[in-house]
Amino acid sequence: MTRFDLVILGGGAAAFSAAIRADRNGAKALMIDGGTIGGTCVNVGCVPSKRMLAVGDQFFRVANHPFKGLLREDGWSAEFRAVIRAKDRLVDSLRKSKYEDVLGSLKGVEYMRGFASFVGPNAVKVGGQRLEGDKFVIATGSSPTVPSIPGIRDVDYLTNVEALSLRDLPDSMIVLGGRALGLEFAQMYQHLGTQVTVLQRSERILPEEEPEVSAYLTRYLEEDGIRIHTNVQILSAERQKGQTILHVRIGDRKRRLDADALLLATGRTPNTERLNLPAAGVDVRDDKGIEVDAEMRSSAPHIFAGGDVVGKPMLETTAAKEGYIAAENALANRGLKMDYTAVPHAVFTNPAVASVGLTDAQANAPGTIRCSCNTVLLSQVPKPIIVDDTRGLVKIVANSETHRILGVHILASLAPDMIHEAVLAVKHGLTLEDIIDTVHVFPTHSEAIKLAALSFFEDIDKLSCCAM
């Protein structure tokens, strides 16, 4: 029987990162993948959703918010099926170039299709075949969570998978969930012509973000036509005459809401149920995620895990980093540790949200160092004024004594691209003065971070455009 140095379970970002490290370390490795090669991100996540968001946003902005002087003589239309076909071609192309071709270049890595389950600490079974390994990296990803709502299993609901491959554009859609996935799909479909209603259980959308970010984004999404309800309890679901009907309580009032389509954006659950982890001695938390330490090592010393299967944050780049650390520690015992303190995250609406580090509430929690925060609106920044899109803000959380930057939170059309200066600031302990002393390009959106730092010491509305 063939025995491998490393067996990798999964075929997404963490698994590929681990496979590449195995190849670089000269290991004999096996990747076992039961899903679509490339995992969630390239197939039904980041790549297709951001493509669809870009198409919808361009269509909506040009049709509804042209610059003064630009005339629209003929109406605009979107051929939904053509949009889907173009998205599918993009996904196919990137899956081949970034995953299939990459896998083919890894000479020390074998690939097997199928679902693996442990039959012992050092062995898995795929179908009827037993495979053994010295070390393992589990990177089986996650799946959409279906909430426990009476009647939900009897309605024709969508997850992100189905919502990216509809043949026809629905006239109306209800989105359950007001966090990243829910809001991205809500704006995507609203911009393409669907009337979207968002239902969020908590008091505000994006409840983990800064309150200012949530409040302003709510306003902007509603200006786009999205209907947003918060403090919502879903009582039951049913299907009648081609419509999905939800019985809900909003605040203290019961209501009936109906739509052509229902999208569940209620979180994701780690894929661990089919792995038979007790046979390997691997502990799992109540949320079904694999318990790992900072070295991505599970309760079984020779078994590591990374990506969505270990739980939040479920981010593609985080998964890749975790897979890298898991494989390097498994094969070379390097003692690398995963640090989440400077991991950024983003919500790709327009305007988008991007954050890194501590929030105001976290930094000023009892027992922590006293912090101060300043917020600059994009209406105070030259570039957004020039391009006539001043929606958004930049908020900096800093140590009030040392001026060390602890967190940065951005709402802007380019927020995901702007955040990396803030990531470096948080990661390397930079101060407000370090940002101010750094020359920025004018005019840019990124200059907003410098102005936000400067606002701790100056009234920026009384400064010229290029003032220090």
Residue 275 makes CB contacts below 8 A (sequence gap 6+) with 9, 116, 117, 118, 138, 140, 282
Which pLDDT belongs to residue 395?
98
Which pLDDT belongs to residue 358?
96
Give span(s): CATH 3.30.390.30, the chain.
345-462
Residue 132 CB neighbour total at 10 angstroms: 15
Contact 135, 29 (CB under 8 A): no
- pLDDT category at 73 given cuts 50, 70, 90 is low
**Cα(167)–Cα(83) distance, integer angstroms:** 10
- Kindly report the CATH class assigned to 152-266: alpha beta
Rounded percentage of the chain residues whose pLDDT exceeds 90: 91
**Cα(427)–Cα(419) distance, integer angstroms:** 12
**Cα(19)–Cα(294) distance, integer angstroms:** 20
| Secondary structure class of 132 (helix, strand, coil) | strand
Instruction: Tell the CATH superfamily of the 345-462 domain.
Output: FAD/NAD-linked reductase, C-terminal dimerisation domain (3.30.390.30)
Give span(s): CATH 3.50.50.60, the chain.
3-144+269-332, 152-266
Contact 277, 174 (CB under 8 A): no
Omega before 443 within 30 of 0, i.e. cis: yes
**Cα(451)–Cα(468) distance, integer angstroms:** 9
Dump pLDDT digits (tens) for 358-398.
999 999 888 777 789 999 999 999 999 999 999 999 999 99
Task: Specify the amino acid at residue 136.
Answer: F
Task: Specify the amino acid at residue 298.
Answer: S
- pLDDT category at 55 given cuts 50, 70, 90 is very high
- pLDDT category at 467 given cuts 50, 70, 90 is low
Tell me which residue has tokens 């990296």.
137
Which pLDDT belongs to residue 1?
62
Mean pLDDT score across all residues of the chain: 95
Which pLDDT belongs to residue 468?
58
Dump pLDDT digits (tens) for 245-302.
999 999 899 999 999 999 999 999 999 999 999 999 999 999 999 999 999 999 999 9
The angle at the Cα of 65, spanning 63 to 66, to the nearest 5 degrees, equals: 80
Task: Give the DSSP per-residue string, 377-436.
Answer: EGGGSHHHHHTT----EEEEEEETTT-BEEEEEEEETTHHHHHHHHHHHHHTT-BHHHHH
Q: Is the pLDDT of residue 68 over 90?
A: no
pTM: 0.95
**Cα(262)–Cα(139) distance, integer angstroms:** 30
Which tokens sit at 83?
């949009």
Q: Is the pLDDT of residue 155 over 70?
A: yes
Q: What is the mean pLDDT of residues 7-22?
A: 98
- pLDDT category at 75 given cuts 50, 70, 90 is low
Q: What is the mean pLDDT of residues 306-319?
A: 96
The arrangement of secondary structure in 3-144+269-332, i.e. its CATH architecture, is 3-Layer(bba) Sandwich (3.50)
Contact 87, 51 (CB under 8 A): yes
